[in-house]
Structure 1
Amino acid sequence: MSRPSSPEGLATSSCPTADQVSAGNTVWVDIRALLPNTKEDLKLDFSEKVEESVISLLQQARDLLYGAESLCSGSARETCLQVSEIIIDYSWEKLNIGTWRDVEKDWRRVYSYGCLFKALCMCSEQGTIADTIRVCDMGLLMGASILDNILVRIINVLQKHLTYGKRSAEEDAKESQRKKIRNDHTTVPSIKSEEVIPRLHCPSLEHFRENYMIPQKPVILEGIVDHWPCMKKWSLDYLRQIAGCRTVPVEVGSRYTDEEWSQTLMMVNDFIDQYIVNKNSIGYLAQHQLFDQVIGRKYIRLYSPQESENLYPHETQILHNTSQVDVEDPNLVKFPKFERAAFQACILTPGQVLFIPVKYWHYVRSLDVSFSVSFWWL
């Protein structure tokens, strides 16, 4: 796995055009206030698994940070930045040797410290801050918590200094074209009365538990999330504003059984611009699920565990909970028993919550640009 090691090597920022420090060096002043008062308070305690040479580099970066020569001066900043890059590069290699569960937590902490020192070097200089946020996010995603989760607190400060301008006419035109393309290719399936998933308005917890959760029967719950702020606030523009410059793990592809399916790290803005796609494979989870629809509509089919044989699960262990069948365009020559598989279906709209019992096969296709929130439990 290659590592984006410098701002120039990162994905091109699609953050708002006025993504700049709001006034003077106030960003550095606010960030500096988050750090321990002295370098002795910024402890670098690691086990013997971390080489002395790496600890020496960490100490050097710390000394530059607290040295008599401020990081706001060119020479100290450049030296600290170079040292931070070496720390990040070396620890990145440690993170990507073997399986993730075998990575020593100390190496994750080293990586986070490297990201911290690099971010401090970057925000000590006036200019754009989207790349600084990305460095902190990489430390959060790949590293471990350090200094009372300081990377999160730094991001909170940086986001306060972001100013957001209006989208350009060209950007608006591109977004409108993307919506048109999606809508032109969307078909709304008809649902027979015998296939409809029942609805229930604001049931008591006892009623839901006894009549649906324990007997494992799907149901659409209505009126239980109307009070959520997201039901009124969420939109593409809102998500761009609060999280557009954040780096998140993303699954790219329409089905995770396809060869081109992959996972990557990218900015929320880039995801919205490039990969608002339908995830339309069918599979099941070993947990109960509440599927809460917030924006747009989704077409959903549910198949009970008793239909598993008719759904032709993959034979490999890693995909044993995923069907080989293209649900809305099945190959009945290859999968003849699929035609016998009974299912329930719905078009889930904003404010509705679908209860999916454990091991129920579920197929989901977006009918609009849509966002959902899911909760799982055993």
Structure 2
Amino acid sequence: MAAPGGVQGPVANPALWAEVRALLPAAEEGMTLALSGEVEDGILQLLRRARGLLYAQPCEAAALGRLGEILRDYSWERLNAGPWREISKAWRQVYTYGCLFAALAEVAAGRPLAPAVRLCDMGLLMGASVLDNVLARLVRVLQAQLPRAEPWAHGSVKKVRIASAPAPLVQPEDAVPHLRCPSLERFRENYLIPGKPVVLEGITDHWPCMKKWSVDYFCQVAGCRTVPVELGSRYTDEEWSQKLMTVGDFISEYIVNENSIGYLAQHQLFDQIPELKEDIRIPDYCCLGEGEDDDITINAWFGPAGTVSPLHQDPQQNFLAQVFGRKYICLCPPQESENLYPHESQILHNTSQVDVEDPDLVKFPNFRKAALQSCVLMPGQVLFIPVQYWHYVRSLDISFSVSFWWS
């Protein structure tokens, strides 16, 4: 006789398996395995076989896990076969299905849930949505079953220095102007249309994150979640690299112990962890753009003091909201580009060769002509960075910022 939910043998957590199965179509034929492009017939056969194992009575967890691994390994090779923009969405969907089947096999077998959560995160990071974004719904169910981490298990976060660098002096004539809750019309006429930066105050006062978020909070809410981390003080350094790790390990290695510089810079974090997205709001001023809310890219920036974004440009308007910690930011209008010595390579053409805080004026003499503005962005403040406006950013403290890119 099959165990509850169709799992072979006794189920360690029948209630969890029932909740997980409720996320999927009730019958095998309802899982269409639709892909957004062509893949090899052999892959389609593996997908159908895995689906059959999932819906079998009883579910064959071991075989399902093996097929999930095969699908992940094969599609992973395809995902790394060329530039990301040229990768077929169909292969990303195959990778997602591989992660889904493998994660479900872990649950069906009654094994610890942390590996299943990692599988979901890998699919969310590298795959493409299937079955109404089932991985996002599945990981939320699984994460709720994991014990929330105690305030930092590897050492009290209270020992972490809150302010670890003095703020550079900003001369009044060079300071970015501040404005409190301007009307949409005033912001549009005075800053958006002429393309001028401004620090907005008071517009995040109602955001839940302003009272809730801290290093401890991220450890508790997202400690088990796998995210990409940038290693190195700035992306132009030769030793700069990226690594996948859990938020908990990132906090332990780069926030609490300060072994070296690492930075969590991620545009998928809020899709991965909707609990965090519920704590922020899209600024009302974004309605002045041409797109819808779904066209706005929301980025997370979390790291220790000393992380630097070199002087660079972005192709969209940007609201940079500071949640905790401080950032020193230097800005320069796009018409000053010739004085900023952009890199000649195509990859870094939007990045200046000049170190803003320690410029080599022998090598880059025209930099002294550049019309720079600066500010120290404090918690609760939002900096408007116009499209193509050059900006340099250095974290003065342990810092979390949220940026909204819009057109």
Of 131, 147, 158, the residue aligned with 1:163 is 147
Q: CA deviation at 1:188?
A: 1.8
Cα distance per residue 1:321-376 (max 9 Å; x no partner): 21111111122222222223231111111111111122221111111111111112
Cα distance per residue 1:131-163 (max 9 Å; x no partner): 211101211222221112111111111122122
Q: CA deviation at 1:46?
A: 5.2
Secondary structure in 1 aligned to 2:384?
Answer: strand
* 1:297 maps to 2:339: no
* 1:246 maps to 2:246: no
Secondary structure in 2 aligned to 1:307?
Answer: helix
Q: Could you tell me whether the CA contact under 8 Å between 1:280 and 1:364 is conserved in 2? A: yes
| Cross-structure match for 1:100 | 84
Q: CA deviation at 1:167?
A: 3.9
Is there any run of 5+ residues in structure 2 with no aligned partner, and where? 1-11, 255-261, 263-302
Cα distance per residue 1:107-150 (max 9 Å; x no partner): 22221111111000101233431221110121122222111211
Q: CA deviation at 1:165?
A: 4.3
Q: Could you tell me whether the CA contact under 8 Å between 1:25 and 1:126 is conserved in 2? A: no
Q: Could you tell me whether the CA contact under 8 Å between 1:27 and 1:124 is conserved in 2? A: no
Distance 1:27 1:336 in 2: 65
Of 9, 20, 26, the residue aligned with 2:15 is 26
Q: CA deviation at 1:198?
A: 1.2
Q: CA deviation at 1:216?
A: 1.6
Q: CA deviation at 1:235?
A: 0.9
Deviates more, 1:275-284 or 1:228-237: 275-284
Deviates more, 1:272-281 or 1:153-162: 272-281
The 1:166/1:140 distance shift into structure 2, 3 A limit, reads closer
Distance 2:152 2:248 in 1: 15
Q: Could you tell me whether the CA contact under 8 Å between 1:300 and 1:363 is conserved in 2? A: yes
| Cross-structure match for 1:308 | 337
* 1:365 maps to 2:386: no
The 1:306/1:35 distance shift into structure 2, 3 A limit, reads closer
Distance 1:170 1:62 in 2: 41
| Cross-structure match for 1:13 | none
| Cross-structure match for 1:272 | 251
Distance 2:323 2:37 in 1: 49
Of 42, 45, 61, the residue aligned with 1:53 is 42
Deviates more, 1:225-234 or 1:44-53: 44-53
Distance 1:247 1:169 in 2: 18
Cα distance per residue 1:7-51 (max 9 Å; x no partner): xxxxxxxxxxxxxxxx84432221012222221222234589323
Q: Could you tell me whether the CA contact under 8 Å between 1:226 and 1:351 is conserved in 2? A: yes
Q: Could you tell me whether the CA contact under 8 Å between 2:326 and 2:378 is conserved in 1? A: yes
Q: Could you tell me whether the CA contact under 8 Å between 1:61 and 1:84 is conserved in 2? A: yes
Q: CA deviation at 1:236?
A: 1.2
Distance 1:66 1:215 in 2: 59
| Cross-structure match for 1:37 | 26
| Cross-structure match for 1:284 | 313
| Cross-structure match for 1:66 | 55
Q: CA deviation at 1:59?
A: 2.1
Secondary structure in 2 aligned to 1:316?
Answer: coil
Q: Could you tell me whether the CA contact under 8 Å between 1:254 and 1:281 is conserved in 2? A: no
Give the number of equivalent residue pairs.
Answer: 346
Distance 2:394 2:34 in 1: 49
Distance 1:169 1:77 in 2: 33
| Cross-structure match for 2:357 | 328
RMSD: 2.2
Distance 2:31 2:362 in 1: 66
Distance 1:170 1:289 in 2: 36
* 1:204 maps to 2:183: yes
* 1:115 maps to 2:115: no
**Percent of pairs identical after alignment?**
57
Is there any run of 5+ residues in structure 1 with no aligned partner, and where? 1-22, 71-75
